[in-house]
Amino acid sequence: MVAVRRQLRQGPDRLAMVTGVPARTVTAILRRHHVPRLVECDPLTGAVIRASKTTAVRYERARAGELVHMDVKKLGRIPDGGGWRAHGRSAGDTAAHKKARIGFDYVHSLVDDHSRLAYSEIHPDEKGATCAAFLARAAAYFRDHGIARIERVMTDNHFSYRLSTDVRDVLTSLGAKHVLIRPHCPWQNGKVERLNRTLQTEWAYRQVFTSNDQRAAALAPWIEQYNTQRYHSAIGGTPLSRVSPT
């Protein structure tokens, strides 16, 4: 069991599905062998790192579309041939690397509070017009997957959300209310913050990519797998199964 955990780097519920051993037994085995929790480990190497602060306060809306969470995650772009994850940290210390202006990818995401259905796209910025166009496409994706109406959209207080007339126009066209979290309280937008972390651990940093295009091309297949195949212990199934239980 320890070897399977080390190979797959998955939690007890998903290891139970792979091995046929009950999840409680998996947990007991891992604890007995002092295997650290996934949140304490680097997603690529499995090495123990310092865990981030978490909150025990949980909530869940009663129906799909009642509340969705939106956010942007900034990731450093990958230089052609691969970055330090491919060649080691010493590769990032060269003069050529320090002079290179690689820039960032902005991963825009929307996730439904009830079902955890998610949608993400990569863009070169997080301007209001970009956020608005993403929201419109994400709403269309949700409609295609069984969420006919979005009632509320929760975001942080970034000016691209708070002050953009483009975002306001899309919200009006959707008939949705804009809900802003309290400043400096990202845990209030916890569902999408958790999705951001999962995106990092299971897509962006799960394997070594040798180009930025290669990583970008892997996002859409990962989102499809996330919605249709990945088991979520918090909801007892996949996001799509909650939207369309039949």
Tens-digit pLDDT profile for residues 35-71 = 888 777 766 666 776 545 544 456 688 899 999 999 9
Q: Residue 114: pLDDT above 90?
A: yes
Structure tokens at 177: 């209310």
Query: CA torsion sign, 10 to 16 to 21 to 22?
Result: positive
Domain chopping of the chain, boundaries: 2-35, 68-243
Computed over every residue of the chain, the mean pLDDT equals 86
Query: Which distant-in-sequence residues (6+ apart) come within 8 Å of 150 by Cβ?
Result: 65, 68, 139, 142, 174, 176
pLDDT of residue 48: 73
pTM above the 0.75 mark? Answer: no
Domain 68-243 belongs to what architecture? Answer: 2-Layer Sandwich (3.30)
Q: How far apart are CA 132 and CA 119, in angstroms?
A: 14
pLDDT, tens digit, for every residue of 193-203?
999 999 999 99
pLDDT of residue 58: 60
Q: How far apart are CA 170 and CA 130, in angstroms?
A: 11
pLDDT of residue 49: 65
Q: How far apart are CA 213 and CA 86, in angstroms?
A: 15
